[in-house]
Amino acid sequence: MTAVTIIITVLGITVSLTLYRVIFGPTPWDRLIAVNLISSKVVMIMVAAAVFFERRIYLDVALVYAIIGFVSIIAISKFLEGEDTNRK
Amino acid sequence: MIAYLFIFLGLVFIFFGTLGIIRFPDIYTRLQTSSKCDTAGAIALLVGLMLKEGLDSFSLRISIILVFLLLTNPVATHAIARSAAIRGIKPWRKKKKC
């Protein structure tokens, strides 16, 4: 058991626990919160793999993944907000 | 040694944040623990990885990723909470006995 094995295993276990909220969440916003959290944890897994395996390209992949996750979360939350029917 | 201490602290933050995601009763409380898991866990874990790597261009890129995560995660959390509030989700209250 090296350090990188422990880090990636713990992060993977927490990702699979968060997946419970994606599947059984009562409202769409619960699923959105859980997807946001999974995206952030995948970035952390990629940075840990880049440091311990000495692969420099994984950091660029992690940065692009973070940017795409942020834009998709903003777009989906604006879509769920819908048109304002109460306010004028 | 201190690098592994920071990494362990980050893993503890992330684990308890995930526990809060499963156990808490409402959208807004889940948003609170999710935000803690994003910011505190990411800061501790990535600072630990930077300390393990040392000072070179590799850790500079990790710090760029860390600054990007710190800028974007509160914005995403606020966007989700604003969308839920506009759609009329009420905050959770404890039920009274009688």
Q: Is residue B94 domain-resident?
A: no
In the numeric block, which tokens belong to residue B44?
Answer: 């501790």
pLDDT for A23: 92
Higher pLDDT, B47 or A88: B47
Provide the token pair at A35.
Answer: 């997807």
Please name the residue that has the structure tokens 């919160």: A33
Residue-level pLDDT at B47: 92
What pLDDT, on a 0 to 100 scale, did the predictor assign at position A84?
64
Share of chain B above pLDDT 70, in %: 98
Residue B16 within any structural domain of the chain: yes
User: Alpha-carbon distance A35 to A25, whole Å?
Assistant: 11
Q: Could you tell me which of B39, B43, B41, B50 has the C-alpha nearest to residue B72?
A: B39
Q: Can you give the residue range of the structural domain that contains B54?
A: 2-86
Asked if B11 lies within 8 A of A48 by C-beta distance, the reply is no
Q: Which of B46, B40, B25, B36 is nearest to B77 (CA)?
A: B36
Backbone dihedral angles phi then psi of residue B64, each to the nearest 5 degrees: -65, -45
User: Total structural domains in chain B?
Assistant: 1
What's the confidence (pLDDT) of residue A27?
87
Residue A88 inside a domain? The answer is: no
Average pLDDT, chain B: 89
**What is residue B43's predicted lDDT score, i.e. its pLDDT?**
92
**Rounded to 10 degrees, what is the CA torsion of A14, A19, A25, A27?**
100
Q: What is the pLDDT of residue A69?
A: 92
Q: Is residue B98 part of a domain?
A: no
By a Cβ cutoff of 8 Å, what residues of chain A touch chain B? Answer: 3, 7, 10-11, 14, 17-18, 20-21, 27, 29-30, 32-34, 36-37, 40-41, 43-44, 47-48, 51, 56, 59-60, 62-63, 66-67, 70, 73-74, 77-78, 80-82, 84
Is residue B68 in some structural domain? yes
Of the pLDDT bands very low, low, confident and very high (cuts 50, 70, 90), residue B92 is: confident
Specify the pTM. Answer: 0.88
Contacts of B87 in chain A (CB under 8 A): 80-82
Tell me whether residue B40 is exposed, middle or buried, using C-beta atoms within 10 angstroms of its C-beta: 0 to 12, 13 to 18, 19 or more.
middle
The residue range of the domain holding A66 is 3-81
> B45–A56: do the CB atoms touch at under 8 Å?
no
State the smallest CA–CA distance between residue B96 and chain A in angstroms.
Answer: 23
Question: What distance in Å separates residue A18's CA from the closest CA in chain B?
Answer: 6
Indicate the number of domains in chain A.
Answer: 1
Residue A87 placed within a domain: no
Q: Output the pLDDT for position A12.
A: 92
Query: Cα angle at A30 between A24 and A36, to 5 degrees?
Result: 110
Task: Give the pLDDT score at A62.
Answer: 92
Task: Quick: pLDDT tens for B4-24.
Answer: 999 999 999 999 999 999 998
Write out pLDDT tens, residues B63-88: 999 999 999 999 999 999 999 988 87
CA distance A61 to chain B (A): 11
Contact A49, A12 (CB under 8 A): no
Tens-digit pLDDT profile for chain A (88 aa)? 788 889 999 999 999 999 999 998 788 899 999 999 999 999 999 999 998 888 889 999 999 999 999 999 999 999 988 776 665 5
CA torsion through residues B33, A15, A61, A54, sign: positive
Residue at B76 is within a domain: yes
